[in-house]
């Protein structure tokens, strides 16, 4: 997905109708950052209307080896360029569904009490992809009470950890406890939505260790057609072999089929 496509989709999700002020919030956060210890987390104030960072904490450099001043200047576009290409589509789907859920299901007076979490892989200064879990809490809502500016907290995990792209929305209730209002696994959703019924038939038979010839006989199609479906399945799922497909299905408890 091209950067301009990401920008268009992102702006559609976070379309706003005014320019909320952040001066008080930013000043408090800057003061806090001066005393915040170095660790594997960092935070930013994000302005989704202007596609900018209102503030980037000092720990971004220690977590990712990247110049925080450059990200402050380059804004979200520079940040997006470092998200793993395979994660862009499910990440955008997650943002879109979270916003839709908020506007459809959360009363306006409760939206400042929401907290949102999602994840993706991100390229650090060594050009290695690490996992980032991002939690964003609204600081300011626009005139339609749509979350538009937030405090984003990023936790950096090792690249060896395999994480599906998921999204969660939680509400701070009357007991000052967060309760989950929404959860979705977008890696699995992308896989499920992308596979046709015929491809599912073939996947089931592949799991039974059937050859292309045996699958062709069972489904009353040619071996050539079976092989074409197999190639398409691997391409859609970004896999290189049937062995990887079987491993994927085992890890997802066969929910794909």
CATH of the domain at 144: 3.30.450.20
Question: Which of 144, 165, 186 corresponds to the end of one domain?
Answer: 186
Q: Is the pLDDT of residue 20 over 60?
A: no
Split at pLDDT 50, 70, 90, the class of 162 is confident
Same domain, residue pair 99 and 80? yes
Domain that holds residue 208: 195-251
Q: Which of 135, 152, 157, 129 is nearest to 45 (CA)?
A: 152
List, in sequence order, every residue forming a beta bridge with 249; answer none if it has no partner.
none
Number of domains in the chain: 2
Split at pLDDT 50, 70, 90, the class of 250 is low
Same domain, residue pair 222 and 164? no
Question: Which of 162, 186, 210 corresponds to the end of one domain?
Answer: 186
pLDDT at 181: 92
Assigned domain for 144 exists: yes
Q: Which of 164, 112, 104, 115 is nearest to 137 (CA)?
A: 115
Extract the tokens encoding 52: 């900018």
Same domain, residue pair 148 and 226? no
Assigned domain for 123 exists: yes
Beta pairing class for 147-157 and 178-185: unpaired
CB 153 within 8 A of CB 136: yes
* Averaged pLDDT for residues 143-169: 84
């Amino acid at each position: 997905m091209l950067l301009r496509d990401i920008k268009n989709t992102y702006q559609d999700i976070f379309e706003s109708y005014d320019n909320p002020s952040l001066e008080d919030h930013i000043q408090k956060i800057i003061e806090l950052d001066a005393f915040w210890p170095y660790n594997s987390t960092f935070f930013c104030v994000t302005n989704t209307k202007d596609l900018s960072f209102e503030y980037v904490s000092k720990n971004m450099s220690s977590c990712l080896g990247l110049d925080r001043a450059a990200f402050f200047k380059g804004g979200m576009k520079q940040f997006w360029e470092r998200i793993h290409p395979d994660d862009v589509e499910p990440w955008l789907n997650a943002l879109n569904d979270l916003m839709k859920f908020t506007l459809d299901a959360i009363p306006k007076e409760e939206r400042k009490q929401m907290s949102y979490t999602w994840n993706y892989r991100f390229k650090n200064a060594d050009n290695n992809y690490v996992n980032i879990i991002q939690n964003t809490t609204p600081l300011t809502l626009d005139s339609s009470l749509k979350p538009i500016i937030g405090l984003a907290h990023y936790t950096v995990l090792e690249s060896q950890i395999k994480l599906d792209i998921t999204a969660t929305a939680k509400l701070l209730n009357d007991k000052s406890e967060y309760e989950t209002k929404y959860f979705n696994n977008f890696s699995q959703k992308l896989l499920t939505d992308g596979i046709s019924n015929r491809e599912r038939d073939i996947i089931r038979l592949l799991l039974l260790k059937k050859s292309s010839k045996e699958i062709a006989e069972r489904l009353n199609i040619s071996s050539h057609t079976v092989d074409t479906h197999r190639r398409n399945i691997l391409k859609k799922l970004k896999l290189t072999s049937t062995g990887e497909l079987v491993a994927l299905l085992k890890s997802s408890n066969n929910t794909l089929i």
